[in-house]
Amino acid sequence: MKRITYFAMAVIALGVAALPATAANPTASALVEAELVQTVTLVKTVDMQFGKVALTGEGVGTLVLGVDGVITPTNLFVPTTGNVTPAAAVFGVNGLSGTSYTVSIPSGTVSLTKQGGTETMDVSAFSVKLASKVAGVTTGTIGADNSFAVGATLTIPTTQAEGKYTGSFPVSISYN
Amino acid sequence: MKNRLPHIILFMVGLVVCSGFLKAESARSVETTAKATILEILQLVKVQDMSFGRMVNGATGVVELKPSGERLATGVTAIGESGWRPARFEVRGTANYEYYIGLPTDITLEKDGNQIVIEDLVARPSSASENALKGIITADAYFTVGGKLILASPDLPPGEYRANFEVSVGYN
């Protein structure tokens, strides 16, 4: 009887030793994050204004309106009295401070149409200047460049009918 | 003591027999070998947190962050030239053994009671060329984890949304 007992103990001992060792599977924790930023907004604060001009009869007239609002006429007479002050268009930008953005301006031609008529004139060669950048740079930073100016060139054919011409052009910005 | 000695001997004989070493006194004998492999304890260490970077609010959509580090946005605008990264975990254990990866079903990020959910979590072990939940342990084994961030509402307020999540590994 005692022999049976010892044999059973031996079997049990081996059985225990033969069981696979078990351990909890290791785990690790990590942080995950995402940042939502407010939508960037763009507001026009000043309309583009070329002012009043008259053809001199020497050929096609061009009026370059710089981003600083200074005009440079060619084959055009610019009256000094009764005129309106030329102005580059100005836009305000709002969004997450420190975030980079890029301005998009027309790369081609925009038409101005005579009020009460159908005649048109072309505006082209749009240019831009961000508040803290030199002219031509289209990428700025909110906080440093919360506004920018847009200039362009007006082309007036020799047969252009007199009148007041207006039009609109698109400007957009996007976060980088 | 005298009475116990035969019993102890018998006990030892029993152990030998049961461990597979059998040697009878007859002409025929049989030998067998018992083998056991002890594996190193599997270790898992987080070496990099996960970040989806910056996105513009006001729209709904999905931002997918792949374990490779690539980020793809659909319906929403993801901004920045950097700042997003998959989570990365190092695995240590017995070389050349296969391990499996356990990922959560989803993760809920929060900010002031507002929530964003990450779904479809996937992993890429360093030993694999594509996403997989099994890898091979090497001297510098690791795996990266990515997922899909669901922006379900355009009204989510700006800010940083965060959560902790847990992954596990085990020998396969």
DSSP string, chain A: -HHHHHHHHHHHHHHHHHSPP--PPPEEEEEEEEEEEPPPEEEEEE--B----EE-SSS-EEEEE-TTS-EEEESEE--SSSPPPPB-EEEEEESSTT-EEEEE--SS-EEEEETTS--EEEEEEEEEEETTS-TT--EEETTT-SEEEEEEEEEE-TTPPPS-EE-----EEEE-
Chain A residues 84-123 within an 8 A CB cutoff of chain B: 96, 99
Query: What's the pLDDT at B32?
Result: 83
Please check whether residue B7 lies inside any domain of the structure. Answer: no
Test the A interface: residue of B7, B18, B121, B169 with most A CBs within 10 Å: B18
Q: Flag whether residue A138 sits within 8 Å of chain B, measured between CB atoms.
A: no
Indicate yes or no: CB of A14 within 8 angstroms of CB of B11. Answer: no
* Closest chain B CA to residue A99: B80
How far A151 CA sits from the closest chain B CA (Å)?
A: 28
Residue B157 domain-assigned (yes or no): yes
For helices B4-18 and A2-18, angle between their N-to-C axes, nearest 10 degrees? 40
Partner B contacted by A26 (CB < 8 A): yes
Contacts of A26 in chain B (CB under 8 A): 41-44, 168-170
ipTM above 0.90, yes or no: no
**B35: nearest CA partner in chain A:** A18
Interface of B with A in 21-40 (CB under 8 A): none
Q: CB contact, 8 Å: B20 with chain A?
A: no
The count of structural domains within chain B is: 1
CA pair distance A68, B89, nearest whole angstrom: 55
Cβ–Cβ contact B112 with A under 8 A: no
Report the C-alpha gap between A122 and A139 in whole angstroms: 27
User: What is the domain range of residue B67?
Assistant: 43-171
SS3 B152: coil
Whether B20 is in a domain gets the answer no
CA of B171: which chain A residue's CA is closest? A25
Within-domain flag for B114: yes
pLDDT for B29 equals: 79
B114/A contact by beta carbon, under 8 A: no
Average pLDDT estimate for A1-12: 45
How would you write the pLDDT of chain B (172 residues) with one tens digit per residue?
444 444 444 444 444 444 444 444 456 778 888 888 888 999 999 999 999 999 999 999 999 999 999 999 999 999 988 899 999 999 999 999 999 999 999 999 999 999 999 999 999 999 999 999 999 999 999 999 999 999 999 999 999 999 999 999 999 8
CA distance linking residue B154 with residue A20, whole number of Å:
53
Domain at B112, CATH number: 2.60.40
Judge: A96–B158 Cβ closer than 8 Å, yes or no.
yes
Question: Does the structure show a pLDDT above 70 at A168?
Answer: yes
> Which pairing describes strands B114-125 and B142-151: parallel, antiparallel, or unpaired?
antiparallel
pLDDT value of residue B152: 95
pLDDT of residue B27: 61
